[in-house]
């Protein structure tokens, strides 16, 4: 959800989710949680790096790290991502979301 602007979110219709109890409420719960994150300024912070971090993760998933065109700064970027995630976690704790 963080990677996409809200107008691009697509949630399945509740009847398509399956027979899980209260499955229709899950999308609404996610939206409420997102609003909490937005109110605390966490959404913007996550959006500043989550796409790039996902690109790196996908590189590991698809083994481009063994190819010559792989990013050469994986170690450096992983440290930056970890620092940013820790900052987000601190904000989540500060705002009593975690």
* Residue-level pLDDT at 18: 57
* Residue-level pLDDT at 87: 96
* Residue-level pLDDT at 19: 54
Number of domains in the chain: 1
Inside any domain, residue 1: no
CA pair distance 29, 31, nearest whole angstrom: 5
Half-sphere exposure (Cβ direction) of 92: Cα atoms closer than 13 Å: 14
Inside any domain, residue 12: yes
> In this structure, what are the phi and psi dihedrals at residue 67, rounded to the nearest 5 degrees?
-95, 160
Report the pLDDT averaged over residues 8-36.
73
Q: Give the contacts of 41 (CB within 8 A, at least 6 positions apart).
A: 91
Inside any domain, residue 40: yes
For the whole model, what pTM was predicted? 0.74
Inside any domain, residue 48: yes
- Extract the tokens encoding 22: 């209260």
* Residue-level pLDDT at 56: 86
Structural domain for 76, as ranges = 6-94
Q: Give the contacts of 60 (CB within 8 A, at least 6 positions apart).
A: none
pLDDT digits (tens, 9 = 90+) for 45-92: 999 999 999 988 888 787 765 666 666 788 899 999 999 999 999 999
């Amino acid at each position: 959800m963080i990677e996409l602007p809200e107008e691009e979110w697509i949630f399945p219709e509740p009847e398509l989710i399956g027979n899980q109890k209260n499955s229709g409420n899950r999308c609404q719960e996610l939206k409420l949680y997102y609003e909490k994150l937005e109110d605390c300024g966490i959404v913007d912070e996550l959006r500043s790096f989550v796409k790039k971090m996902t690109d790196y993760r996908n590189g590991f998933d698809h083994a481009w790290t063994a190819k010559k065109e792989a990013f050469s700064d994986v170690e450096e970027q992983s440290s930056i991502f970890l620092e940013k995630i820790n900052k987000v976690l601190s904000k989540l704790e500060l705002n009593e979301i975690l």
